[in-house]
Homo-oligomer: A and B are copies of this chain.
Amino acid sequence: MQHRMENVLGLLLPSADIAPLHLHQAMRYAILGGGKRVRALLAHAAGELCGADPDKVDAAAAAVELIHAYSLVHDDLPCMDDDDLRRGKPSCHRQFDEATALLAGDALQSLAFQVLAQPALCDSAARQLEMVHLLAIASGSRGMAGGQAIDLASTGLALCQEELEFMHVHKTGALIRASALLGAYCAPDADQAKVRALDRYAKCIGLAFQVVDDILDTQADTATLGKTAGKDAERSKPTYVTILGLSRARSFTQELHADALESIAPFGSAGQRLVELAAFITQRKF
């Protein structure tokens, strides 16, 4: 599936020999050749549960990956996390320059909406419009961008678990939930019970993803992570490990994993890929 998404994204992005060259090279650099593609995998697994044509899910999956990639490019900028490394390579502004990285992020966001609004992605134009609306809300000030603002404001503060969860529900959770819902809405007639189950599943694995991220940040080394390890502690950022301790953070991951599986259990083997994805997310080492 990672390979499939690489092809899909490679075709959707403007070629690196189309003007403005530098910008297109930076956009391709930022999104191709790496990444776990969790959001794309989730869109496809959700689409499969609901009976969507995988060819139609491709565009929705690409749209969420484009939003995710733009957020990483901007998040790595000096005025934000100031990170030199991303997916084992120099971050976009280190490979190019700050202004190019800023514009590449901006253009990746536009491209996400262009891809999701392309003609006849979905059998119903009205539903496709709802998908665009949903992605915009998930990306904006009450979703991902808002979560990043809360994250910035919380550096150096002693948050409680509830406040930390509020931040992550926005910063990463909103786009992860949108990935599942967009995959489901690619089906001609997505069953409401399945959509509700997917929403709960995505909330749980989205949060589990973050808890595992916090654990890995304290445990793994930079080479394994492909991004700078130990960064959170260095910047006095509150994490699940600082708030719960390592052992309780691990058991919290297990609880979230179990909740995610419970929500999709009624659908049996149709949810097999969602089961595999939950296992991947909670057991990953990078």
Which residues of A line the B interface, CB within 8 A? 14, 18-20, 22-24, 27, 70-71, 74, 77, 79-80, 97-100, 102-103, 105-107, 109-111, 113-114, 117-119, 124-126, 128-130, 132-133, 135-137, 139-143, 145-146, 148-150, 152-153
Contact = CB atoms under 8 A, between A and B. Distances in A.
Contacts of A141: 14, 20, 23-24, 27, 107, 110-111
Nearest to A133: B117
A114 B137 CA distance: 6
Instruction: Indicate the member of A118, A129, A135 with the most B CB atoms within 10 Å.
Output: A129
Contact of A111 (B14, B124, B136): B136
A136 B117 contact: yes
Chain A: interface secondary structure? helix
B125 A23 contact: no
Given A79-B99, A80-B99, 18 more contacts: A14-B142, A18-B142, A20-B141, A20-B146, A20-B153, A27-B141, A74-B102, A77-B102, A103-B145, A109-B109, A111-B136, A111-B140, A114-B137, A117-B117, A117-B129, A117-B133, A117-B136, A118-B133
Contacts of A97: 79
B114 A150 contact: no
A145 B106 contact: yes
Q: For the complex formed by this chain, how many copies does it contain in all?
A: 2
Given A118-B133, A133-B119, A140 B20 contact: no
B111 A113 contact: no
A147 to B, nearest CB: 8
Among A113, A143, A153, the one with the most B-chain Cβ atoms within 10 Å of its Cβ is A113
A118 B131 CA distance: 10
Given A126-B125, A133-B119, A149 B111 contact: no
